[in-house]
Amino acid sequence: MAGKQGRYNEDSIRSLDWREHIRMRPGMYIGKLGDGSSPDDGIYVLLKETIDNSIDEFMMGFGKTIEITLTEHNARVRDYGRGIPLGKVYECVAQINTGGKYDTEAFKKSIGLNGVGTKAVNALSEYFKVQSIRDGKVKIQEFETGHLIKDHKLKKSDEKTGTCIYFRPDKEVFKNYRFLSEFIENQLWNYVYLNAGLTIVFNKKKFYSKNGLQDLIARKTDPENLRYPIIHLKNDEIEIALTHGSQYGEEYYSFVNGQFTTQGGTHLAAFREALVKTVRDFYKKDFDASDIRASVIAAVSVRIQEPVFESQTKTRLGSTHMTPDGKTVRNTILDFIKQELDNFLHKNSETANALLKRITQSERERKEMSGIKKLANQRAKKANLHNKKLRDCRIHYNDAKNDERFNTTIFITEGDSASGSITKSRNVQTQAVFSLRGKPLNTFGLTKKVVYQNEEFNLLQHALNIENGIDELRYNNIVIATDADVDGMHIRLLMMTFFLQFFPDLVKNGHVYILETPLFRVRNKKETIYCYDENEKQTAMDKLGKTAEVTRFKGLGEISPGEFGRFIGEEMRLEPLLLRENTSIPKLLQYYMGKNTPERQTFIVENLHIEKDTVEV
């Protein structure tokens, strides 16, 4: 006789309320949840979905200012657009698949088209409040986890027309979350780059751009690193900004209707193809595509009706058609760049010569490296990567990037004891471990030859699958896991130098993190508390009393696999490696990894903290 688990009948079939469905399957609507340590974590998607509606109002010609106020756990977004029609406020924030964007005359080229975004914010917030000011009146409604708790009566208002959304993400869904202003500010800069004339005020800081994508590239790069002035081309549908630098790899920023498509899509593929074709035709030489795109820094934005994205979070464009009349994205971009870039290069001979010089340099470097690469790849195979250095996981990020399950992690650690603890306690489905042998080489000032000539770096490059860029990156999160002592800090610095010097796009795209592990364990017979700094330790000791036992972890290897599991599971704390706007990577590395300059000596002296061990006699 079948037990309960084997039963399948009419009682097994149930229909979920829209709130239940969003809360039970949030990944379908906002991607991964996270705690705010990654730019694509859910709390930022909630904020983005709210701001997107205000951006759409601006794009339609209503409201030039958006005000955003953020505290530790609360967000408020106020625009000065038309305001939600007062009789349809509830439907727009709490009735699935309802909204004004189905009317393509009202929102011709908007970001969100399926009427889900604001509803997801509502359902995933422990508190949500909407105010619509329109026609001299205001309508206010308050919700908890998507349920209406207070429907205010319509009343007169002398406030400016617009919409105000206030929400507090649900702590039951987003555990231990925190907003990082760096991620939000990057997002806001993108909004103003793509919407010339828009002003965003974030916690009293003003964001504004006059020159669009040209400003974006200018802020993302060091002027001393550019081979020629930024090329800026645009029409009503397409805008591009383009230059070449001296860094390794290709660096792209792509957008659709103001949405930052972090994973690219058909528009970015078309741009890369068009760039190669136009350059070859202009110089009448069959350059290798990799030489043309090496060290490129570019931004591309398209505006299209009814875009098709490959996920609700809209990080990758799937549309093949530019307009309803059937013109393809590819052909539109090819035609635009063929005409506009070709014209620009003919009119600007200095830029054309500088571009040619950069391409021929890349060609020469590639040929010089070809023999080294071949030998290095042979060594990598002989090293038996999967047994010697890498304890791999079963799922990889490049298998299906739009599925939350494929957001996988690789821990880079040093020493047998540390790597052993992580290996034994990891999730073998989604977490891999790469073991370093001693301190890695300081790569500052070296060329990329070292990536192939140094066995550690060559094997790591193969493990990450980044030899030809990060499009096929195997792990979304690259986590440097070292001891919190002087040697561990030095290893962290050396690994960060390696990534910044040779694979900066990994850092710029938010893939590199530092693992935070507890320094102390405070426990009594009833409770155990893990502490990450002295303040947390003192708080724990005050809570557990004088009889509490305090253990100081001197290294990762001292933490048992049973304990370690919680620190790389739901309670994992990751510190993202962030680059602030206008950061020059060469200057940054020169400061920290170059010769001991007077500036660095002064910094060390002024920030020196001496820790003394307390010894009981």
d(CA 76, CA 51): 10
360 or 368: whose pLDDT is higher? 360
pLDDT band at 354 (very low <50, low <70, confident <90, very high): very high
Whether 564 and 573 have beta carbons less than 8 Å apart is answered as: no
d(CA 462, CA 466): 7
> Tens digits of per-residue pLDDT, 237-253?
899 999 999 888 888 89
Q: Can you name the CATH fold of 213-367?
A: Ribosomal Protein S5; domain 2 (3.30.230)
Whether 416 and 467 have beta carbons less than 8 Å apart is answered as: no
**617: pLDDT strictly greater than 50:** no
84 or 25: whose pLDDT is higher? 84
> Tens digits of per-residue pLDDT, 394-441?
888 777 655 555 679 999 998 777 788 888 889 999 999 999 888 888
Q: What is the pLDDT of residue 405?
A: 56
pLDDT band at 215 (very low <50, low <70, confident <90, very high): very high
Domain 18-208 coded CATH 3.30.565.10: yes
User: Looking at residues 331-346, what average pLDDT do you find?
Assistant: 93
Task: Give the residues across from 199 on adjacent strands.
Answer: 65, 208
Whether 193 and 209 have beta carbons less than 8 Å apart is answered as: yes
Whether 41 and 572 have beta carbons less than 8 Å apart is answered as: no
The domain spans of the chain are 18-208, 213-367, 383-517+553-606
> Tens digits of per-residue pLDDT, 365-397?
888 877 777 777 666 665 555 456 888 988 887
CA R_g for the chain: 27
Tell me 158's DSSP state.
-
Q: Can you name the CATH fold of 383-517+553-606?
A: Rossmann fold (3.40.50)
d(CA 515, CA 564): 12
Which residue pairs, CB below 8 angstroms and at least 24 apart, start in 491-495? 491/414, 491/436, 491/439, 491/440, 493/592, 493/593, 494/439, 494/440, 494/441, 494/442, 494/443, 495/412, 495/440
